[in-house]
Amino acid sequence: MRGIIEAMRHTIRLRFAFVSVMRIWNVLLILLTMSSILPVALDQPQAGDSTSQHPVPSNVVNVIRNLFGTRIGPADDRKPYYWTGDFNGDNITDLLVMVRLKGPTRALPKDIVVLSFWNASAQSNPSPQDSELALAIIHGSDAGWNTAPAGKYLIHSKDFFSSPLWESTSTKELISIVRIGSKKSRATGPPVAAKGDSISLATEAGIDTFVYWNGKTYRLFEPAETP
């Protein structure tokens, strides 16, 4: 009788051991499946994320040099110095880079649209030894930024970007991207004429201004100062 009981106990222990092994095996299978799926999922564009169409270029310096020439270089001493957004509303990611302009704007490649919102002349003539801060915008295309961009723009103004506010190497409080349809866009952002994400620029007066695409070109929106 005792032998039968011991045999039954042994059988029960074996069954418990088998069940435990199967549970551990199932957990391992789940973990392995998740580890193979997760990286793929992270690489996929996320719904509503306008910056997922193209990855940020690994070398912004080369992108700017290839598209804008040697007279413009990234202001990579500023942190951050580049941003992404869908500025023209075509559902393809665009690139915004803070740059330094050396030499006159008339010497830049002819396919660059030069804009200046803060003074009457769009021409700037810094000497090759000096440099001026400016903003470069690259409209993305299906082929990406570096090969066949849909548009190249340079926004500059010596008076605006040489103010004490812009001497800071931290741009977190100076430049931000306002997503179209966002709460900030509806509350204090650019006008309804904006076709895509807007670029918010800080001013000495403490009132943010907004650079936006109106369907044909970039415009500046300056909210009225409140007393």
Count of CB atoms situated within 10 Å of the CB of 85: 21
Q: Which pLDDT score, from 0 to 100, does residue 181 have? A: 84
Mean pLDDT of 37-44: 33
Residue with the larger pLDDT of the pair 225 and 128: 225
Residue with the larger pLDDT of the pair 122 and 143: 143
Pairing between β-strand 175-178 and β-strand 198-201 as defined by DSSP bridges: antiparallel
Q: Which pLDDT score, from 0 to 100, does residue 52 have? A: 40
CA angle, 173 then 178 then 183, to 5°: 110
Per-residue pLDDT reduced to its tens digit, 146-179 = 777 889 999 998 889 988 999 999 999 999 999 9
Distance CA 68, CA 113 (A): 11
Question: Which pTM does this prediction carry?
Answer: 0.71
* 81 to 9, 34, 176: CA distances (angstroms): 71, 36, 11
Q: Which of 102-116, 126-140, 162-176 has the lowest mean pLDDT?
A: 126-140
Judged against a pLDDT cut of 60, whether residue 18 lies above it is answered with no
pLDDT band at 192 (very low <50, low <70, confident <90, very high): confident
Q: Which of 57-71, 95-109, 152-166, 180-194 has the lowest mean pLDDT?
A: 180-194
Q: Which pLDDT score, from 0 to 100, does residue 29 have? A: 61
Q: Which of 28-32, 90-94, 114-118, 191-195 has the lowest mean pLDDT?
A: 28-32
Q: Quick one: which H or E segment has residue 183?
A: helix 183-187
Q: Which pLDDT score, from 0 to 100, does residue 17 have? A: 53
Judged against a pLDDT cut of 70, whether residue 126 lies above it is answered with no
Residue with the larger pLDDT of the pair 77 and 130: 77
Judged against a pLDDT cut of 70, whether residue 78 lies above it is answered with yes
